[in-house]
Amino acid sequence: MAKRPNAEDYIDIEIINDAELRKLFTELIPSVQNRIVLSGMRNASKIILQQAKSNFKGRQKNKSLTNYSNFNKSFTTEPMRSTFGLKVGVKNYKYKWIEWGTDDRYYKRGVKRSTWRKRKDNSGGHYTGKIIATNFFFDAVNSRKEQAKKIVSEAIVQSLEKTVAKYNKK
């Protein structure tokens, strides 16, 4: 199974070094600041989702009874509730199995009935297989991380320029 992401695997946003833009950004109302940063994050998440979809389509090796059309529609971006940020991922519950894989799976052991007592069946149970990890989403994040950072910073600069132009008109 693949390595699961830790806190250091998340993308950190580096705001541009321009002192005037930072000063202007700190002078804005917090709600406007949040709107600017979230719009940049949404733009960056689109690239990661596109890469994840293409990775997923490329890694479907054999036909399955699973209907992947619902799975392809469940790629989503939504705001986090407890902290400031975005969640990017797949809402379908089957995602974790396809992304991280499963161990070998067996039917549960049954109980053999005898005339006087029940006794456990010591046989191993029927083998039902395992799902091999594809890591399509984890690889998409790693491959598009630098491009996403660049897009976030560019979107922040563009939206700051728009707000400056808006306030200069007044």
84 has pLDDT over 50: yes
Q: With the CA atoms of 60, 126, 100 and 134 taken in that order, what torsion angle do they form, in degrees rounded to the nearest 10?
A: -20
- At a CB cut-off of 8 Å and minimum separation 6, what does 101 contact? 1, 2, 130, 131, 132, 133, 134
pLDDT: which is higher, 31 or 71: 31
Helix (H) or strand (E) holding 129: strand 127-129
7 has pLDDT over 60: no
Mean pLDDT of the chain: 76
Asked if 77 contacts 100 with a C-beta cutoff of 8 angstroms, the reply is no
Specify the amino acid at residue 132.
I
Q: What is the pLDDT of residue 143?
A: 92
pLDDT: which is higher, 126 or 64: 126
pTM of the model: 0.68
Reduced to 3 states, what is the DSSP secondary structure of residue 86? strand
64 has pLDDT over 70: no
